[in-house]
Structure 1
Amino acid sequence: MRGGGRATREFLQPNTDGSVFGAVHLGYVVVQSNRLADWRRFGADAIGIHVDELGTDALRLRLDDRACRFLVERGPAEDVMALGWHVDDHETFDRIVARVTDRGVPITEGTPEQAALRGVERLWRFAGPKGMAQEIFTAAVTTPQPLRMLSSGWVTGEAGQGHVAIISREPEAMRCYYHTVFDSRLSDYIDENVSGLKMKIRFLRVNERHHSIAIANLRGVKIDPIRTRVQHINIQSATLDDMLASFQRVKELGFRMAWSVGQHTNDRELSFYCVTPSGFELEVGWNPIVIGPELESTWEPSTYRGISIWGHSTVGETVLDKFTQFRQALRTVTTPEITVPELTGGLSR
């Protein structure tokens, strides 16, 4: 494990104005799937992650000394069910709880069984966008058990385990949600043309990672072209060789590649995208920009034209794939997206 933290302790502490920015980090992701054997092979053999089997009904994927970074529980959803956020201290935790409860959104404590599976001492849950529970915790369980994985390491530390990208028909509501709860800051925008449709992507940071949440929407069209709640989850390789080796293994083992290796315009990360056994994508990246204290003090959001400087070409997409996506998008037209209006300033359809 290589920590991503270059920020000073002052940068990480809540600001004197009550902000929690810098003290919140993506800690784990909870997935529900009936394809546990595929997930084990995908994680351990293709991506190169440490995988622990918890009986016949759950897997835990490790990136570092924490007991869990991905929890894959048996179930039919084939989707992300919850995002776990590590909060640095009890003062910050209390601020977040107050923000949520003061606006009338219930918070419930997770069961001891849920906490144990996620590798945390205790956790609390509340409603999140698109039906994904948001879970917060202050103490992660670490383990002395050596990592058994093909990769030499992953960048976590103060930047958290990576980022989550979501396609939303209510992008402003989602942006306001994460600003209300975590004091997220806008890093930048990307405008992209996808199959003739204009897409705008907002990138939000809650710590030194360039973005922990990316929110994409098709401008002027209230559709969601994908089945899953998230479009992709990102993890960051410690070395370029690690990233390229996992790319090669994914191809050799027959897992579906979504986008070839390329470099992004905004955070300059080199990465590729492959499809997980549950259908959402995993981005494996290397060396994105870190917005540490010096950059933070002068950072101004910009708008970039296009997602990539080079590469990131689609791989293996067929006419049938496009038709399936279009049919899925039509189903969403008459179904409102789940938002939490109490935490978005009332912004929702």
Structure 2
Amino acid sequence: MSDFFRPNTDGSAFGAVQLGYLVVESQRLRTWQRFGADAIGLHVDELTNDALRFRLDEHECRFLIQRGAAEDLMAIGWQVTDHDTFDRIVRRVTERGVPIHEGTPEEAALRGVQRLWRFAGPKGIVQEIFTTAHTTPRPLHMITSGFVTGAAGMGHVAITSRDPRGIHGYYNTVFDSRLSDYIDENISGLALKIRFLRVNERHHSIAVAGIRHLTIDPIRTKAQHVNIQVADLEDMIAAYQRVRELGFDMAWSIGQHTNDRELSFYCVTPSGFELEVGWDPIVVTPELEEAWQVVTYQGISVWGHNTVDPGIFDKLGQLRQAVMNARRPEITVPGLSTTSLQGVSS
């Protein structure tokens, strides 16, 4: 990690945090195994009849799929690269009155980590922090040549929300996230404003989308999509072809984003949220960081990212889901979501 991104003397956690793993609850473990190994090209370890782990690199766990009824993303694991910053984050959470609990040895072992602590996150996605990931010398058995992880973490998570500003405040409070940019987009008649938050040199580790002028959420799952980054363009193209050939639903065709310039496609996971498989997004180097200006892009894509299966984005279905979501309050964490964001548009 560059000294530029190390924790600042003012106590910032920026640069010392990276996306480490994701925890999914599903009854469809056999389908997840086929999706992960045969379609996307991940290494799969079958731990028990009730748990699978996917590897992307030397880390023992990058995805943990546990048996359960939710069919959703349940937890985000964040690696904190030094103990001082870890303790600082724990203090921030506890001083604001949010309960934080040490994970059990069994939970830590399943995730392949040391020093695991857990606390509430937006939309009911538990946030987990750890200091050290267990690695393994066992070779990867996968049909993809490799994935980009390292100091920038394993990818990103995108969320739709009725309170995008609150989620922005949450990650600013907990991790000192920085706003990379906005995108204004219209999808299936819904006007979206998406904000992109970075916690290290990756352009964004969290993206938050809200419907302009409406406090609705048309997505059933807690996460709209999660992202992983392949090492070579050929890996991304090959995964796209395998997803189609094996009969998994494709959401968006290959295209290039306006803001981080990543080439990617989006497919639907067995639990219903999407997986974005991407290649070659920009890296916010120290030179770029020094001169970074927040701008708003018009449209998600420079080219491509066309709807593949229109049924997935049926407007009536979206409206029905939005009405169902409106009947229950969105889970928020007020104690961690009230950071002042002067100069940041809503």
SS of equivalent to 2:133: coil
Alignment of 1:40-79 (within 5 A): 40-79=33-72
Q: What is the match of residue 11 of structure 2?
A: 18
SS of equivalent to 1:136: strand
Q: What is the match of residue 119 of structure 2?
A: 126
Equivalent residue in structure 1 for 2:236, among 222, 228, 243: 243
Amino acid at match of 2:38: D
Alignment of 1:33-44 (within 5 A): 33-44=26-37
| Residue 319 of structure 1: how far off its partner (Å) | 8.2
Alignment of 1:222-237 (within 5 A): 222-237=215-230
Q: What is the match of residue 146 of structure 2?
A: 153
| Residue 315 of structure 1: how far off its partner (Å) | 0.8
- C-alpha distance in 1 between matches for 2:315 and 2:32: 25
RMSD of aligned alpha carbons: 1.2
- C-alpha distance in 2 between matches for 1:119 and 1:151: 22
Q: What is the match of residue 108 of structure 1?
A: 101
SS of equivalent to 1:268: coil
Q: 1:112, 1:122 within 8 Å by CA — same for their partners in 2? A: no
| Residue 106 of structure 1: how far off its partner (Å) | 1.0
Amino acid at match of 1:89: D
Alignment of 1:297-316 (within 5 A): 297-316=290-309
Q: 2:251, 2:312 within 8 Å by CA — same for their partners in 1? A: no
SS of equivalent to 1:255: coil
Report Cα offsets for 1:67-106 as digits up to 9, x if no partner: 0000000000000000000000100001101110011111
Report Cα offsets for 1:177-196 as digits up to 9, x if no partner: 00000000000000001222
Q: What is the match of residue 277 of structure 2?
A: 284
State the percentage of identical aligned residues. 70
- Provide the TM-score with structure 1 as the length reference: 0.96
Gaps of 5+ in 2: 341-346
- Provide the TM-score with structure 2 as the length reference: 0.96
Report Cα offsets for 1:159-205 as digits up to 9, x if no partner: 10000000010001000000000000000000001222210000000
| Residue 29 of structure 1: how far off its partner (Å) | 0.2
Gaps of 5+ in 1: 1-6
Matched, 1:217 2:207: no
Report Cα offsets for 1:281-312 as digits up to 9, x if no partner: 00000000000111111101110000000000
Q: 1:29, 1:80 within 8 Å by CA — same for their partners in 2? A: yes
SS of equivalent to 1:200: strand
Equivalent residue in structure 2 for 1:162, among 145, 155, 159: 155
Equivalent residue in structure 2 for 1:294, among 274, 281, 287: 287
- C-alpha distance in 1 between matches for 2:247 and 2:72: 21
Number of matched pairs: 340
- C-alpha distance in 2 between matches for 1:273 and 1:24: 26
SS of equivalent to 2:276: strand
Equivalent residue in structure 1 for 2:132, among 134, 139, 146: 139
Alignment of 1:160-199 (within 5 A): 160-199=153-192
Amino acid at match of 2:172: H
| Residue 122 of structure 1: how far off its partner (Å) | 2.5
